[in-house]
Amino acid sequence: MKLKKTLVFLLVLSMVLSAFAFACGKKTDEPAEEPGTETDAPAEDENSEDETPDDETADKPTEPSGQLIIGSTTEMSGDFSGVWQNNATDADVRRLIQGYGTVDKTDEGEYVIDDSIVKSYETKDNEDGSKTYTFTIVEGLKYADGKEINAKDYVASYLLWGSRLIGPDFCGAKNTGGMDLVGYDAFSKGEKKEFTGVHLIDDYTFSATINPEKTPYFYELNSVSAGPEDLEFWLGKKVDIKDDGDGCYFAEDINTEEFKNAVKAARDRKTLPASGPYMLEKYDEAQQLATMVINPNFQGDRVGRKPLIEKIILKKITQATQIDDLKTGGVDMIMNIGDGKTINAGMDLTEDEGFAYTDYPRAGYGKIAFGCDVGPTQFPEVRQALAYLLDRNDFAKQFTGGYGSVVNGPFGPAQWFYIETQKELDEKLNSYPYDPAKAVELLEKVGFTLNESGAEYKEGDGIRYKKMDDGKLMPLEIKWASTENNDVSDLLVVKLAENPDLVKAGIKIQRDAMSFDELLNWLYRDKAQDAKYGVPTYNMFNLATGFTPYYDEQYTYSTKKEFLDMGYNTNYIIDADLEKAAQDMVKCTPEDREIFKENFVKFASRWNELLPDLPLYSNQYHDFYNSKVKNWETSEIKGLTSTILDAWVTE
């Protein structure tokens, strides 16, 4: 029998002291109520508790069996590619379906060449400062449908996802495939048919050359990483890839309306070609169910793991009923639980036989994301004022029930570089303590000093106004895109939107509740879904961010129009110093951890000053599950796919 409700002090302490092997990074989006997360996490957690014996692996089955139903409060959109948007549960489906990448991540978060896929590889430092990786993949790899995989499938991942076809001009997505390679700019804009940094050498060998402007790079292997891509699925017909010596190219021009329609049709099919441990058997959009079964052609991952669970089902559930769903068998597991109410209910459940849990620190945070180019939140002082008008420590304590804490920058307590720089960050970063007087001072400083009539604002005048350069008055009214049926949203109404001190300060927050999928359309300004989303409308959004070990924020805060158009900089914050700080952070070799940390502190400091997001909490995550689930050894860095491959179920 495990101890009920581990002391909050110990939980929070474990979030700070747990050390992990490598970095945490790329983001995915999730509703701010937590479950249904999207990232990978810090090495296997020493604080994890469950009731299984230490020699549980002695009972490991030799053949797969059973099914695992995982409940998630994140809606699935069915857009599983991650190229248009990056919903948390959609990302989980993608990671279970796609595999065979040349670069893999260890369970501890280190990026390595996958020697189960790459038969051999060579590197060459070129005279111009570029660097070439040449990969020879093993023979005999197949997609789930039996189609053979060869070097062209890997080259296709650079060419398709880097093509002009995929980008804003045609399909409205992020055409960043191979973006660090020589020749990307010209190829991605359709100015040159060849991708000069990518070469096809033979049926199983290809090379990729990193642009000298992109070296050194802390995540160098990610620059050349490639996975197999089934061109016929996306383009609707077979299109050959050739290389006459100047680089790889498509045998016919794909930057046309014909292929735009083919890509749309493929996207609408709500599936993906399977090269990973599972394949998508069925996606029921109405019921919000994704059913995956074992890919019969999956040869195993880098360390030889194959699925031991026959069927994985991801199922949409609601936050309010998720413990009941677990208790009654509607689901076998709920993951990434971060709110105190649900954690306490789950701990009560595990006091009885038949249920267990695992806990681990988070590599991310719940947040308010600001639109930094529209309305009052275009001014840093307004964003800072809102921070001073929300008691975040009280908010985090109330939401997480003590199983979490507040962070003051773009990181979570599970990330190695935060752990190793925490003392310095605590000294340098503004914690924005609750201070309504400071909030009013900032609002007056930035010019919100008028009332509705244009006269000097006095207490009791209602909303403040600012006279803009065109002579018009801007009201201090914040439009809030809020997820519905969400505990975080409800708590923000009480703690922020209806806070008497906020009203007294002359601010009005207008909440529009909507589905998470709808919120993401507004956040990403996804004109491919509807032209209305391309019009900047909302000043703030509540959601959450999770990081994978690939912590590279240079595109997240890029000021370049092409990256804004592709939806990378969802805050639409234009600040050259922040952009440069993000770039400098990763401009070092993978061995230069001290330089990375030094520049991370500079980046976090500038970010903390500008506040493109307002972090609300970071958590000690909990997974609760039926005790038929065995060997559930997880963490944020390890991630869902590797965890599932280590686990099995007993019926």
What are the pLDDT digits (tens) for 132-145? Answer: 999 999 999 999 99
What local confidence, expressed as pLDDT, does residue 541 receive?
98
User: Model-level pTM?
Assistant: 0.81
pLDDT band (50, 70, 90) for residue 353: confident
**Residue 48 pLDDT class (50, 70, 90 cuts):** very low
pLDDT the model gives residue 482: 96
Q: Which amino acid is at 227?
A: G
With b for 16 or more beta-carbon neighbours within 10 A and e for fewer, the 294-322 pattern comes to bbebbbebbeeeebbbbbbbbbbbebeeb
pLDDT reading at 502 higher than 70: yes
Q: Does domain 364-435+474-619 have CATH number 1.10.3720.10?
A: no
Tell me the HSE value of 536 on the side-chain side, using a 13 A CA sphere.
Answer: 19
- Judge whether 33 and 483 are in contact, CB under 8 Å: yes
Q: Which residues make Cβ contacts (< 8 Å) with residue 161, sequence separation at least 6?
A: 83, 174, 175, 176, 177, 178, 229
CATH topology classification for 103-264: Dipeptide-binding Protein; domain 1 (3.90.76)
In whole angstroms, give the CA distance from residue 177 to residue 161. Answer: 4
The per-residue pLDDT for 59 is: 84
302-342: per-residue pLDDT in tens?
999 999 999 999 999 998 899 999 999 999 999 999 889 99
Tokens of 30: 């999730």
**With contact defined as beta carbons under 8 Å apart, do 195 and 247 qualify?**
yes
Query: Measuring CA to CA, which residue among 338, 366, 368, 317 is closest to residue 523?
Result: 368
Predicted confidence at residue 28, as pLDDT, reads: 60
pLDDT for residue 39 is more than 90: no
Condensed to tens digits (0 to 9), the pLDDT of residues 430-476 reads 999 999 999 999 999 999 999 999 999 998 999 999 999 999 999 99
Q: Where are the domains of the chain?
A: 47-93+272-358+623-649, 103-264, 364-435+474-619
Q: Are 47-93+272-358+623-649 and 103-264 equal in CATH topology? A: no
Domain 47-93+272-358+623-649, CATH among 3.40.50.1220, 1.20.58.2050, 3.40.50.300, 3.40.190.10:
3.40.190.10
Give the span between the Cα atoms of 261 and 278, in whole angstroms: 28
| CA 38 to the chain's CA centroid | 6
Residues 381-427: tens digit of each pLDDT: 999 999 999 999 999 999 999 999 999 999 998 899 999 999 999 99
pLDDT tens digit sequence for 53-75? 345 566 899 999 999 999 998 88
Least-confidence region, from 16-20, 186-190, 229-233, 392-396: 16-20
Tens digit of pLDDT for each residue in 200-211? 999 999 999 999
